[in-house]
Structure 1
Amino acid sequence: MTRLATYSVKDKTFFGAVTDEGMIALSPLFPQWPTLYDAIRAGGMKELVAAANGKPVTHTDFSYEMVLPDAPRILCVGVNFPDRNAEYKDGSSQPKYMSLFPRFASGFTGHDRPLIRPPENHTLDYEGEVAIVIGKAGRRIKTEDAYDHICALTLCNEGTIRDWVRHAKFNVTQGKNWDRSGALGPWLVPFEKAAQLDEARIVTRVNGEVRQDDTLKRMTFPIREEIAYISTFMTLQPGDVIVTGTPTGAGARFDPPRYLKPGDVVEIEVDGIGLLRNGVEDEQWA
């Protein structure tokens, strides 16, 4: 399984292929693509995969970065598992249409880096999700053609400051975009067959305790429908990221709530994609 990541060494950022021994730097081989996002925009995923074969490891001491730190469009699907709507306990029926909201790259960090809890509010919560990366542009994409537009998969901890999603009546944007409150990574896995999504199970653990455990096939709005619906009102472009929805079991839904605190470790795992792990730290703000 090819794994493509963005990583840093001594304040220099590279993209490359992950191996069990370390990183194979690919960015020096493709100067026309300054970032992994640029490579995707240019339709270069297959070239990157081919270039990684047989190349020696370049770096063994590195830090993961958010996998697409310059992605300008990250769209998230909310309340997308059958039990999630009931968790809100507001008496509402299952919605006819999917809920959507934007996230910005600044709100995410990389694998094995801490999620940051801000001093203004301590209701930092986790949400384990699969994210897809668009590889082929399209508008009004048919459901049956949707998978043809995906080039890669990754994982997301869609970290949320819960109290701040309630600051306004019709949006959750401010609770979803605190700097480094979530994580996206560790890497991109090329999307090659439907089973990578249709048979996927997502598990979220906090300090080793399973909090979320569900299959993507139980989504209220399957990924094919997400792509079709979103592409109705906007042209999807290569490099766009869709964060597809989280199962029941987030910390806010316990009684009392079980929000993240410094020292906690959150792991999100999907077979065939990988494991995304993050600790939690308080923001250091002078």
Structure 2
Amino acid sequence: MPRPKFISFTRGGTPGYGVLAENRVVDLSARHASQWPTLREAIEDGALLSLAEEAASLQPDFPVEEVRFEIPIPAPEKLICVGVNFPDRNEEYKDGQAAPSNPSLFIRFPRSFTGHDRPLIRPPESPQFDYEGEIVIVIGKRGRRIPEAEALNHIAALTLCNEGTIRDWVRHAKFNVTQGKNFDRSGSIGPWLIPYTDESQLADIRLETRVNGEVRQSDRTGRMIFSFRKIINYVSTFTTLVPGDVIVTGTPTGAGARFDPPIWLKPGDVVEVEAEGIGILRNTIADEA
């Protein structure tokens, strides 16, 4: 049985959420917005699986062509990203250092992301626009100092991210990358949320990024330096994770900056991020108007 695909969308100027069934949408927000205004509240109440069962019994309400995809969690309290989480990515730095003992982390703002099938925006400040395909875990259960053995029980859903980066702007200061990671609509999350039910969904799945059909990044989650368990354990040490929090878990080698010469994204390019069992996140590239 295919796993349900929960989407957040805008239709006719009105935000909503539902389940994608083939090429049509079961509008759950029309039925439950008073109880759960967004998918974040539904996740907080542990309602995804019951909503999926309900959606399976309903006739779809309208074709998917009538909606604009939004990021699945419209207002997460936290968007935390993991850097350098595949062995070949660590070797790219050519600094002779072994993989670090703890994850490198940084924060992104919701405004820096857009939804599936919408353009990623290249700003006028720099042509060095790059892609990073990643798997996203969405937290479903509140926790602090979560043991690794219990960590996966705190995941509600999975999705994908193109963690678009303005490369020269991550070098504007000595110690941070915040500027180059937070240009408006430079990244994407989606296309949907797949409810998390068991560890096989994450154990050793292929993650791939393509630009104009050419494979640029390809690796397996089983090779990650920091497992999903470790990431949740580590992050929850210093901050309380709450339902709807988004953790972007790291990208394989093969970003445009690592080519010689670098290959930057340009208007008209199509970037696809794909992971087994989750789906394909697709975006074009456009210059900021």
Tell me which interval the TM-score lies in, with the shorter structure as reference length.
Answer: over 0.9
| Residue equivalent to 1:9 | 11
| Residue equivalent to 1:268 | 273
Hey, which bits of structure 1, 4+ residues long, moved more than 6 A?
A: none
Alpha carbons 2:161, 2:190 under 8 Å: kept: yes
Q: Matches of 1:275 and 1:264 in 2, distance apart?
A: 16
SS at match of 1:129: strand
| CA displacement 1:4-44 (0-9 Å, x = unmatched) | 00011111111000111311100121121111112112222
Q: Matches of 1:62 and 1:76 in 2, distance apart?
A: 28
Question: What is the deviation of 1:199?
Answer: 2.3
SS at match of 1:96: coil
| CA displacement 1:126-167 (0-9 Å, x = unmatched) | 000000001111111111111111010000000001111001
Question: What is the deviation of 1:46?
Answer: 2.2
Q: Matches of 2:232 and 2:180 in 1, distance apart?
A: 24
Amino acid at match of 1:120: E
Counterpart of 1:28 (choices 27, 30, 35) is 30
- TM-score calculated relative to the size of structure 2: 0.96
Counterpart of 1:259 (choices 264, 269, 272) is 264
Identity %: 57
Which segments of 5 or more consecutive residues in structure 1 lack a partner in the other structure?
none
| Residue equivalent to 2:54 | 51
Counterpart of 1:18 (choices 17, 20, 24) is 20
**Are 2:178 and 1:173 equivalent residues in the alignment?**
yes
SS at match of 1:86: helix
Give the aligned length. Answer: 284
| Residue equivalent to 1:231 | 236
| CA displacement 1:39-72 (0-9 Å, x = unmatched) | 1122221232122112111121222111112112
* Larger deviation, residues 83-92 vs 57-66: 83-92
Amino acid at match of 1:90: D
Which segments of 5 or more consecutive residues in structure 2 lack a partner in the other structure?
none
Amino acid at match of 1:39: A
Amino acid at match of 1:25: D
Written as runs of structure 1 = structure 2, the 5 A alignment for 1:198-217 is 198-217=203-222
Alpha carbons 1:143, 1:228 under 8 Å: kept: yes
Question: What is the deviation of 1:283?
Answer: 0.2
Counterpart of 1:114 (choices 116, 119, 132) is 119
Alpha carbons 1:2, 1:49 under 8 Å: kept: yes
Q: Matches of 1:72 and 1:143 in 2, distance apart?
A: 22
Question: What is the deviation of 1:92?
Answer: 3.4
| Residue equivalent to 1:97 | 102
Q: Matches of 1:71 and 1:181 in 2, distance apart?
A: 17
Amino acid at match of 1:73: K
